[in-house]
Structure 1
Amino acid sequence: MSERHRNVRKAPVAIVGGSGFIGSNLADSLLSDGEPVLVIDNFSRSGVEQNLEWLAQKHGSHLSVETVDIRDRHRLASALAPARAIFHLAAQTAVTTSLVDPAEDLDINLQGTFNVLEGARQVNAPVVFASTNKVYGSLPQIKLREADDRYEPTNEAVRAYGVDETIGLDFCTPYGCSKGAADQYVLDYAKSYGLSTAVLRMSCIYGPRQFGTEDQGWVAHFLLSVLSGRPITIYGDGKQVRDILHVSDAVAAYRAVLARIEDLKGHAFNLGGGPRNAVSLRSLLSEIASMTGHDIMLRHELERAGDQPFFVADTRKIEAALGWHAQVPWREGVSDLASWLLRHRLQPRREVARYVA
């Protein structure tokens, strides 16, 4: 091979929203394997610059960064031009925020996704899109019964396996509508234009580098609140059930889908912890109290619009397609996150600054 060809840099994988929680973990995984990564982000969310500083410190010149808002179609297309593949993780992520400002939610989640797809189409780059279980609505068709600390389906198959991709889309709240419409645009670009696209409809992802708030990232929010001695507000009775998935398992799924994108294009997959990692809010809080030895201060409010009393992802489709399985048991994963938060989110600011500098 000539010297000129040896010096040609490999085209990067672009991660749109790459400074966020999942994006930065995905970037770290790729960079650690020698893959050049292009982070595209507008850095609008408070604190995400810490994730970027961490990536830059750890990986140096293999990381490149473009500060772009996905609503700026022309700048985004220019930024995406060198990419060999695209993970699209940028979004307005909170149902509550979408109810307050549905226009911004629409612009970011739907128009922004359209802009990503158009940029990808110009360079024929595959796209793996981060969708949500909210595209299934509040799931009133799943009949539930109350157990001591949780709701559980009366249907035996749903109890055993969870909610599969055939349940039917039922957009609810502006967030559900914008993400659901974007989800369908991503799939249609495979049908209409032959673009290699796939969708991952995520349940609740948690783990290191998460900025937990009441509206998004609730596992980290619960831990941060308990460790800081702050009260937690529970909306509803706390018997709501979710399957939680450690971010390392989510990253493995994203990478596996991209590796098989030509076989999987045009498909949507549920991505969550599945029945083995299904927890109610009450059971998670009980585990956190036991794990930390802290008392938990609770407040209760009415349930919020669009909330699902039960969602556990049936992951058999992605398991069959990829051989992927969730590896981290939820108790182990929550303990891991608690340790990380104590080291990197709850230290004095000078300690955090030294870590990310």
Structure 2
Amino acid sequence: MIAGDRPILVTGGAGFIGSNIADRLASDGHQVLVYDALSRPGVERNLAWLQQRHGDRIQPIVADIRDGDELARAVGEAQAVFHMAAQVAVTTSLDDPRDDFEINIGATFSLLEAVRRAGGDKPVIFASTNKVYGDLLDLDFTLGNNGYAPVDAGIAAHGIGEDRPLDFHTPYGCSKGAADQYVLDYARSYGMPAAVLRMSCIYGHRQMGTEDQGWVAHFLIRALEGRPITLYGDGQQVRDILDVSNAVDAYMRVWQRIDTVRGRAFNLGGGAANAVSLRSLLGHIGDLIGREVEIELSDWRAGDQRYFVADTRAAQQALDLAPKVAWRDGVAALARWLAQERGINMPIAADALRAAATAS
């Protein structure tokens, strides 16, 4: 990709996925506006890492996404926008739905209006979520060795497609879903070159996982530190997990092909080949660290899906995506990175890495 004269704006650019996108853009020779309030613990380390790697190609804007004037100024400078900034936790949205609304809907609307006032021709790629499809409880599931599986053979083979009706649950689902629809409608109503990626569970380097967000890294951090992990529900929930390198590839492809994919929403996840139950993942983590992970159980949480696996065929076809990192390999790599990042002297078991390579 040839670097343009104007920078690329990445809102939430010091966050987990945002910092990886910023890193890719800067590595490709672009100037990057990293717009972030630095309110999430650990993200200041991501910003420092970006500046150390790329110097003055990284231009920090430390501001709240709800600051309309500052956001409009940043949009005015940019040639394209990756909109990653958000309130990202279902639990937080239940505690403070107004804050969730203002960040996820209000700020997204402000960004779209800023792009429209600036001519409406700047590409906008929006980070949405699989939560727009609701809890999926209308589907029938069976319980097998790797957790819940759909009875429907087509869904079991490929996952949930973009033709699934939208069904917003919890304030978080409502706010992200509404923002998702605003982005698509601005493409329809105003011809804005905008597209949406509805993400499943993304994991990988730079993820500062907590119980409410970034659960793969959270599981690894707790296990590496020898602390128990709480499973909400029975732990048989199934998710398709995707390495962040694959997610960044998809975002870059959407931007590169925005003229052909504008106005579209794609599911982005690990797909059926990277579907794993929470308990199976914890078993793999135990193999990696050489000891069984301590588990505690608690009640189901609002809006929790027993199963979500993204049907990624539409994205694969439209974006010509590279093969996905196998989940066992990716989780092992994240375990090594987290151990190093947190100063934990625990070599990841070599036999588990061999088993991961064989299973992949």
Counterpart for residue 192 of structure 1? 189
Paired letter, 2:317: A
Counterpart for residue 272 of structure 1? 269
Equivalent of residue 29 in structure 2, options 28, 34, 37: 34
For residues 243-302 of structure 1, the C-alpha deviation after alignment (integer angstroms, 9 at most, x for no partner) is 000000000000000000111111000000000000000100001101110221111001
Paired letter, 1:290: D
Q: TM-score, normalised by structure 2?
A: 0.93
Residue 336 of structure 1: how far off its partner (Å): 0.5
Residue 147 of structure 1: how far off its partner (Å): 0.8
In the alignment, structure 1 residue 319 sits paired with structure 2 residue 331: no
Paired residues of 2:224 and 2:344 also in contact (CA < 8 A): no
Distance in 1 (alpha carbons) for counterparts of 2:70 and 2:205: 31
Residue 67 of structure 1: how far off its partner (Å): 1.5
Counterpart for residue 216 of structure 1? 213
- Show structure 1 runs of 5+ residues with no match: 1-7, 349-357
For residues 158-177 of structure 1, the C-alpha deviation after alignment (integer angstroms, 9 at most, x for no partner) is 11100000111000000000
Equivalent of residue 115 in structure 1, options 110, 116, 121: 110
Residue 325 of structure 1: how far off its partner (Å): 4.0
Distance in 1 (alpha carbons) for counterparts of 2:4 and 2:257: 23
Percent identical among aligned pairs is 57
Distance in 2 (alpha carbons) for counterparts of 1:113 and 1:188: 12
> Which moves more between the two structures, 148-157 or 209-218?
148-157
Residue 326 of structure 1: how far off its partner (Å): 4.2
Q: Secondary structure at the match of 1:167?
A: coil
Paired residues of 2:242 and 2:324 also in contact (CA < 8 A): no
Distance in 2 (alpha carbons) for counterparts of 1:79 and 1:33: 21
- Within a 5 Å distance, the mapping from 1:136-155 to structure 2 comes to 136-155=133-152
Paired residues of 2:195 and 2:264 also in contact (CA < 8 A): yes
Q: Secondary structure at the match of 1:166?
A: coil
- Within a 5 Å distance, the mapping from 1:235-274 to structure 2 comes to 235-274=232-271
Paired residues of 1:273 and 1:326 also in contact (CA < 8 A): no
Distance in 2 (alpha carbons) for counterparts of 1:274 and 1:217: 18
Residue 347 of structure 1: how far off its partner (Å): 4.9
- Show structure 2 runs of 5+ residues with no match: 346-360
Paired letter, 1:18: G
Q: Secondary structure at the match of 1:338?
A: helix
Counterpart for residue 288 of structure 1? 285
Change (3 A) 1:9 1:88: closer
Paired letter, 2:70: R
Distance in 1 (alpha carbons) for counterparts of 2:234 and 2:127: 29
Paired letter, 1:137: G
Paired letter, 1:116: L
Paired letter, 1:167: R
Paired residues of 2:187 and 2:193 also in contact (CA < 8 A): yes
Q: Secondary structure at the match of 2:35?
A: strand
Q: Secondary structure at the match of 1:138?
A: coil
Counterpart for residue 94 of structure 1? 89
Residue 345 of structure 1: how far off its partner (Å): 2.4
Q: What is the number of residues matched between the two proteins? A: 341
CA RMSD of aligned residues (A): 1.3
Residue 9 of structure 1: how far off its partner (Å): 7.6
Residue 148 of structure 1: how far off its partner (Å): 2.8
> Which moves more between the two structures, 209-218 or 70-79?
70-79
Distance in 2 (alpha carbons) for counterparts of 1:204 and 1:102: 22
Paired letter, 1:297: E
Paired residues of 1:131 and 1:201 also in contact (CA < 8 A): yes
In the alignment, structure 1 residue 55 sits paired with structure 2 residue 79: no
Distance in 1 (alpha carbons) for counterparts of 2:222 and 2:65: 32
Change (3 A) 1:205 1:326: farther
For residues 294-352 of structure 1, the C-alpha deviation after alignment (integer angstroms, 9 at most, x for no partner) is 2211110011000000000000001110111442000000000000001112459xxxx
Distance in 2 (alpha carbons) for counterparts of 1:142 and 1:18: 36
Paired residues of 1:133 and 1:201 also in contact (CA < 8 A): yes
Distance in 1 (alpha carbons) for counterparts of 2:252 and 2:145: 38
